[in-house]
Amino acid sequence: MIVMGGIIGAGIFTNPYVVAQQVHTPVLILGAWAVGGLIALAGAFIYAELSSQVTESGGQYVYLREAMHPAVGFVYGWSLLFVIQTGGMAAVALIFANHVFELAGVTASEFSAALLGCAALAVLTIINCIGVRAGTVTQNVFMILKLVAIALLVIFGLMISKATPATVVPATAASTTTWQALIAFGAALIPAQFAYGGWQTACFVAGEVREPKKTLPRGLLLGVLGVIVVYLSVNYVCVHALGADGLAQTKTPASAVMRLALGSKGGRLLAAGIAISTIGFLSQSMLTAPRVYFAMADDGLFFQQLGRLNRARVPAFAIGLQGALAILIALVASKYEQILNYVVSVDVIFFALSAVCVFVFRKRRASAADVFRIPLHPFTTLFFIAACAVITFSLLYKFPLNSAISFGIMLLGVPAYFVWAGRRGQRI
């Protein structure tokens, strides 16, 4: 449930239209989601082995710190706080706001959506600062409702008559070169990868799982496989009901499918389900990521307050700072696609670096027999690294400004590490 809850957020309800804007045929749309699923599965294999090698809480931060250098782990944690996690939460909060306005039948501006999204982030931050029980109950309830909404979408979507074949490929798409087609497909993987991202958050809580060397690999693989089935089902229904062109022009495709199936009431019903789904995802995000900041503070490499617990035994300062930064990003960017590119450009770099950790740990611990082993390694691992490189190149090529901003913030973590390491007398 943690793995699936960390992956299934709001992206699957919105990102199909972003994918359809890059590739213009049903085969390529579904192909992008299938390839994205294979990348996620390869990533799950990698993190299953890493989590069986290192069972300490902190996930990628710990893997990068142990396999490479404390500076690499620090820059990841820095990027998680200032780009990856907070940016992802801001993007999901905007989706929440857009569907709330749709539910109310109101056409809102981007700024109005940003304000409502920020209000949701503030409320959830307060709830999770109250205590772990309040946060976990919220997350579990919303996860169940999220799966119900997806099931309704797929069932009723399949009942719709197939879209009329008026979905002709645009002339610009038909005349593209092979190079342009590859770039477009790489760009289509960006929103798909964002929607599939999140399996790694289960590794943040490795130190709190019984028998993590067995439990985490199973949870990762079963959870990702389940999500692939869910995502392909949702996208098949969207393409089936709306057609490729119709999907590309619909910013709320899931609600549009339900409107076709059940009328305006159906659209509102799913809009409510999606709003609930986004709240569940945000709640799960707030519960897991602060453990990374906590681990960094415990190493003496971040603000000491991030490693402190309040009376409810919750890292309230870490949760509060994370929520405040997410609110800031939502206000400054206020456009979903911009935030998506901002987040993924840095996220995939650390995915690739984490995959490199597998080679390092295998060299150091070649005799370890009680760890999970990646099937078809090194080919599986190299495929994942190559996929991350393709996505990074596509982002730099198509969205240079957003990528430059996120890379700049990431690189600021390098001098920040030397400041903290110097203060604490850490190994530099």
DSSP 372-412: ---TTTTHHHHHHHHHHHHHHHHHHHH-HHHHHHHHHHHHT
The phi-psi region of residue 281 (left if phi > 0; otherwise alpha if psi is between -120 and 50; otherwise beta) is: alpha
Is the bond into 253 cis (omega within 30 degrees of 0)? no
Residue 166 phi/psi, 5-degree rounding, is -85, 0
Q: In this structure, are residues 13 and 254 in contact, taking their beta carbons and an 8 Å threshold?
A: yes
Question: Which of the given ranges, 15-29, 166-180, 286-300, has the highest pLDDT on average?
Answer: 15-29
Residues in the chain: 428
pLDDT, tens digit, for every residue of 106-122?
A: 777 788 888 999 999 99
pLDDT, tens digit, for every residue of 262-319?
A: 888 777 887 887 787 787 778 767 777 777 888 788 888 888 777 777 776 777 888 8
**212 pLDDT band (50/70/90 cuts)?**
low
Start-to-end CA distance of the chain, whole Å, equals: 39
Q: In this structure, are residues 139 and 284 in contact, taking their beta carbons and an 8 Å threshold?
A: yes
**207 pLDDT band (50/70/90 cuts)?**
low
| pLDDT score recorded for residue 274 | 79
Q: Which residues of 259-291 are buried (b: 16+ CB within 10 A; e: fewer)?
A: bbbbeeebbbbbbbbbbbbbbbbbbbbbbbbbb
d(CA 54, CA 207): 9
Assess whether pLDDT exceeds 70 at residue 88. yes
Percent of the chain at pLDDT > 70 equals: 87
Assess whether pLDDT exceeds 60 at residue 426. no
Closest-CA residue to 33 (of 230, 176, 180): 230
Mean per-residue pLDDT, 131-135: 54
| pLDDT score recorded for residue 166 | 44
* Planar angle of CA 396, 77, 312, nearest 5 degrees: 140
**pTM score:** 0.81
**Domain residue spans of the chain:** 2-424
Rounded to the nearest integer, the mean pLDDT of the chain is 81
Q: In this structure, are residues 248 and 172 in contact, taking their beta carbons and an 8 Å threshold?
A: no
424: DSSP letter: H
| pLDDT score recorded for residue 74 | 92
d(CA 14, CA 395): 19
pLDDT, tens digit, for every residue of 398-415?
A: 888 888 999 999 999 999
Give me the long-range contacts of 180-185 (CB less than 8 A, separation at least 24): 183/394, 183/397, 183/398, 184/22, 184/23, 185/22, 185/23, 185/28, 185/31, 185/32
Question: Which of the given ranges, 134-138, 139-143, 357-361, has the highest pLDDT on average?
Answer: 357-361
The second-level CATH assignment, the architecture, of 2-424 is Up-down Bundle (1.20)
Q: In this structure, are residues 275 and 103 in contact, taking their beta carbons and an 8 Å threshold?
A: yes
d(CA 19, CA 192): 7
Pick the more confident residue, 21 or 170. 21
| pLDDT score recorded for residue 425 | 59
